[in-house]
Amino acid sequence: MDKLIIKGGISLKGEIRIAGAKNSALPILAATLLTQETIQICNLPHLFDITTMLELLGCMGVQPIIDEKLNVEVDSSTIKHFSAPYELVKTMRASILVLGPLLTRYGQAEVALPGGCAIGSRPVNLHISALQAMGADIVVEDGYIKASVKGKLNGAHIFMDLVTVTGTENVMMAACLAEGQTVIENAAREPEVVDLANCLVKMGADISGQGTDTIIINGVKDLHGCSYSVMPDRIETGTYLIAAAATRGHIKLKDTRPDILESLLSKLEQVGAEIKLGDNWIELNMHGKRPQAVSLRTAPYPAFPTDMQAQFTALNSVAAGTGSITETVFENRFMHVHEMNRMGALIKVEGNTVIVQGVDALKGAPVMATDLRASASLIIAGLVSENETSVDRIYHIDRGYECIEEKLQLLGAQIRRVPS
C-alpha cells in the first residue's frame, strides 16, 4: 500500500487538463452490454474503478480492446456468463449497473450485493423494486441479487422514493429494450445521468426528459454500436478549484465544463476567488488572499454536490471566519473531520452539520483516508499545512482521481507517493 507525503505552504499555480468523468464512464461501460455491436468509448479516465469495470466485463466473456489513444472498444457479442461476482463487486458499488442491461438483453442476471465506500447505506432495493415493476422475478439470496424475466421486460410507470443516480441509470438502461413505454419520476438530474442517456440515444435508444426529474423511455427492438466521448469530471474539476482557493493560488483547468458547476463556482466567488470561464476552461485566481469562510448545504444536482463537501470542509478550516456545512445526502460522511482536527482544525460535528472555525494554518500530521472524497480533502489539508503531512490508505483516492500527485506537482505542489 502507498501513501502520499505532502510538504504544505505552497500556493497552487499553473494549468492542468481534467480527465473524463468516472461517474459517467462506469454506466456507459455497463451500457455496452445492451448491443451485439462494437461500442467505442473515448476520454475514459485511468482509474482503478474503470479497470475493475473492464475486469467485470472480462469475467463475463467480453474482451475490451484498448487502443494506443487509450480509447476502449467493447464488443459484448462474446458474452458467456451473466454474473457479477462478489470479488469484483465488493470493491466498487457501481458494479450493480450491469443488472439492468443484462436482465433486459439476456433475460437473466446475477449480481453480488455491492461494496465500495463506507459512507452510509445506499439502498439497492430501489433498483430491485423498479425492475420488479417491469416484470422481473428477483430474489436476494446468498449475498446475490438473482434476477430473471420470461420474454421481455415491460415498460412501467416508476416513481423513485429517493433520488438515486445509479437507480435511475439502471432502470433507464433496462427500459431501452423493454416492451412499451417507461416513465421514471423523481429521476436523478445529474449531468452523468444525462451523459449516459446521450450515449444510449446515440446507440438508437428513444429517451427524452434526461436532465429533468421525469425521464421517458420508449423501448426499441435493439441498439447498435457507436463511438462516444465521456464528459469531463466535474468532481475532479471542483477538487482542484477548491485546492487552489484554499492555497491562495491561481490555476486554469482545461477540458472541463463550467456549465455543470454553477453551485460550486458561486460558492468559490463567495470565498473571494476571481473566476473566469470559457466554453471548456475555468480559471481561478485568489490574488494571494486568504479565503473567506462560507456556509453551504449539500443536495442532489443542481444543488451543491455531496462529493465536494469534504474538500470544502478543508478550505473552511483555513478560511477567515466560521462556516457551517450541512450534509443531506449521506449519513456517514464526516469521517475526515477527526483527521483534520488532529492537524489543528477547529471542527465540531452537530448532527448532520459541521461547524468549522478557520485557523491561520493547519499542522502537518500522519492521517488516514477513509473514503474517496475524504482522501481528497486530507490532501487539501496537507497542502495548507505547515510541516509535512502523510496520507495513508490512498487506494481510495486512486479509485476516483487520475494521477493526482502528478497533476498537483504540475501546479507546484510538493507531493510524492511512497510505499507505506
Q: What is the mean pLDDT of residues 70-84?
A: 95
**What is the Cα–Cα distance from 172 to 101, expressed in whole angstroms?**
9
* Sign, CA torsion 382/121/82/88: positive
Asked whether 400 and 22 are in contact (CB, 8 A), the reply is yes
Report whether 352 belongs to an annotated binding site.
Answer: no
Q: Are residues 190 and 290 in the same domain?
A: no
Report whether 93 belongs to an annotated binding site.
Answer: yes
pLDDT digits (tens, 9 = 90+) for 23-42: 999 999 999 999 999 999 99
Asked whether 177 and 206 are in contact (CB, 8 A), the reply is no
pLDDT on residue 58: 97
**Nearest Cα residue to 191 out of 152, 235, 225:** 235
Q: Are residues 37 and 9 in the same domain?
A: no
pLDDT on residue 173: 98
Name residue, grid cell 464528459.
Answer: 231
Model confidence at 118, in pLDDT bands (50, 70, 90)?
very low
Q: Are residues 209 and 238 in the same domain?
A: no
Q: Are residues 213 and 256 in the same domain?
A: no
pLDDT on residue 331: 75
pLDDT on residue 117: 45
Q: What is the mean pLDDT of residues 164-180?
A: 97
Q: Are residues 278 and 175 in the same domain?
A: no
pLDDT digits (tens, 9 = 90+) for 312-339: 999 999 999 999 999 998 777 898 999 9
Which residues does 51 contact at the CB level (< 8 Å), separation at least 6? none
pLDDT on residue 122: 55
Among the candidates 204, 229, 254, a domain finishes at: 229
**What is the Cα–Cα distance from 89 to 149, expressed in whole angstroms?**
23
Q: What is the mean pLDDT of residues 170-198?
A: 98
Q: Are residues 345 and 209 in the same domain?
A: no
Asked whether 3 and 391 are in contact (CB, 8 A), the reply is yes
Q: Are residues 394 and 269 in the same domain?
A: yes
**Between residues 262 and 398, which one has the greater pLDDT?**
262
Model confidence at 116, in pLDDT bands (50, 70, 90)?
very low
pLDDT on residue 69: 79
**Mean of all residue pLDDT scores within the chain:** 95
pLDDT on residue 372: 87
Q: With 90 as the cut, is the pLDDT of residue 290 above it? A: yes
Q: Are residues 183 and 114 in the same domain?
A: yes
**What is the Cα–Cα distance from 251 to 268, expressed in whole angstroms?**
13
Q: What is the mean pLDDT of residues 95-113?
A: 96
Q: What is the mean pLDDT of residues 110-125?
A: 67
Q: Write down the H helix ranges in 107-190.
A: 125-133, 165-176
**What is the Cα–Cα distance from 301 to 263, expressed in whole angstroms?**
9
Model confidence at 385, in pLDDT bands (50, 70, 90)?
very high
Asked whether 44 and 233 are in contact (CB, 8 A), the reply is no
Name residue, grid cell 505547515.
Answer: 386
Q: What is the mean pLDDT of residues 71-92?
A: 94
Among the candidates 229, 257, 281, a domain finishes at: 229
Asked whether 11 and 42 are in contact (CB, 8 A), the reply is no
Active-site residue set = 117
Distances (CA, A) of 284 to 223, 264, 309: 42, 12, 19
Among the candidates 168, 200, 229, a domain finishes at: 229
pLDDT digits (tens, 9 = 90+) for 93-103: 889 999 999 99
Q: With 80 as the cut, is the pLDDT of residue 114 above it? A: no
Name residue, grid cell 501546479.
Answer: 411
Asked whether 205 and 274 are in contact (CB, 8 A), the reply is no
Q: Which amino acid is at 146?
A: K
Q: Are residues 116 and 198 in the same domain?
A: yes
Q: With 60 as the cut, is the pLDDT of residue 216 above it? A: yes
Which residues does 347 contact at the CB level (< 8 Å), separation at least 6? 313, 317, 337, 340, 341, 354, 355, 356, 357
Asked whether 211 and 235 are in contact (CB, 8 A), the reply is no
Q: What is the mean pLDDT of residues 211-215?
A: 98
Report whether 71 belongs to an annotated binding site.
Answer: no
Task: Give the range of the structural domain holding residue 158, as residue numbers without chain letter.
Answer: 22-229
Q: Are residues 263 and 247 in the same domain?
A: yes
* Other beta carbons less than 10 A from residue 91's beta carbon: 17
pLDDT on residue 420: 83
**What is the Cα–Cα distance from 100 to 134, expressed in whole angstroms?**
11
DSSP state of 409: H
Q: Are residues 191 and 260 in the same domain?
A: no
We report the CATH number of the domain holding residue 146 as: 3.65.10.10
pLDDT digits (tens, 9 = 90+) for 221-274: 999 999 999 999 999 999 999 999 999 999 999 999 999 999 999 999 999 999
pLDDT on residue 259: 98
Model pTM above 0.85: yes
pLDDT on residue 138: 95
Name residue, grid cell 500530521.
Answer: 365
**What is the Cα–Cα distance from 116 to 95, expressed in whole angstroms?**
10
Q: Are residues 129 and 11 in the same domain?
A: no
Report the number of distinct structural domains present in the chain. Answer: 2
